[in-house]
Amino acid sequence: MPVIALANQKGGVAKTTTTISLGAAWAAQGDRVLLVDCDPQAALTYSMGIDPEDLEVSLHDVLVGRSAITDVLWEAHGCHVAAATIDLAGSEAFLLTKTGREFALARALRAVEDAYDVIVLDCPPSLGILTINALTAADEVVIPLQCETLSLRGMSHLLETIEDVRSFTNPHLRLRGVVATMFDSRTNLGREILANVSDQFGLDVIGPPIRKSVRFAEAPAAGETIFQRAPKVPGAEAYLEVAARLRTWGEPEEDGVDAAVPPPPSSVDLDLTGAVTEPAPIGPGPRP
């Protein structure tokens, strides 16, 4: 059961969109998926149809030890969601005074790790204690990267943080590579950015670039995933391929190297466009 962190300290690079799209794609294949909103802005929570303003408990209460993670779980779009509120901003100040603060999220996830096939962590746009907690809890990190110059500039700082986490709190953390988001095929800039990622940083680009589309902005307002809103746009199809390339759990390994990933399923093969349902609370109590 892998824990995958989606991290980038720059905001607006489609971390939350990528988290939701990967989760929905895996859930449609029958995987048990938990999405964890580690961002005080609670964009993941809101985008899954859960109003943070209505929540009495959230991931903040889990990190400060007042609640179990099963108390903050909701079900939406075939996934379970550990919801966040603005209170999560206070977790950083609280954890700074605690011994072993980097391991708070990892400890919380142990209670449910056997209930899921994959756990996905949506990190905040910073390199603070919440992101460190996510990287410490993760088995793998994926970097959503907007195909623009300013997004590339901060890459070295993120990679330094990942190396620090490997050195001090999580030596087994694996950097899978980059998901190229908000790609504009009409310009050469995006292709140049992707080439720099490979040449300058030696990172793999996972799957095809995710092309820009207004449908990604429309989906959260309608309480839908991109597969429900516009399953035929190139970006939705690209996310299916990215999900297939990242989905290595249960795959045999050969000589310590991941076996070849099968070709991605098409939206015709998956139940991605079903009716939208209201999110439902799960906790408190263990996942059924």
In a domain, 267, yes or no: no
In a domain, 276, yes or no: no
| CA–CA separation, 33 and 115 (whole Å) | 9
**pLDDT recorded at residue 202:** 87
Percentage of residues in the chain having pLDDT higher than 70: 88
In a domain, 266, yes or no: no
Contact between residue 15 and residue 131 where contact means Cβ atoms under 8 Å apart = no
In a domain, 123, yes or no: yes
Give helix 155-168 / helix 189-201 axis angle, nearest 10°.
Answer: 30
Query: What is the Rg, in whole angstroms, of the alpha carbon atoms belonging to the chain?
Result: 18
In a domain, 196, yes or no: yes
The strand pair at 280-281 and 73-76 is best described as antiparallel
Residues forming a β-bridge with 254: 257
In a domain, 254, yes or no: no
Question: Is residue 119's pLDDT more than 90?
Answer: yes
In a domain, 41, yes or no: yes
Q: Which domain holds residue 39?
A: 3-247
Query: What total number of domains does the chain contain?
Result: 1
236 dihedral zone (left: phi>0; alpha: psi -120 to 50; beta)? alpha
Average pLDDT, the chain: 87
Q: What kind and span of H or E run contains 157?
A: helix 155-168
pTM score, whole prediction: 0.89
In a domain, 278, yes or no: no
CATH at 84: 3.40.50.300
When pLDDT is cut at 50, 70 and 90, the band that residue 136 belongs to is very high
Question: Is residue 261's pLDDT more than 60?
Answer: no
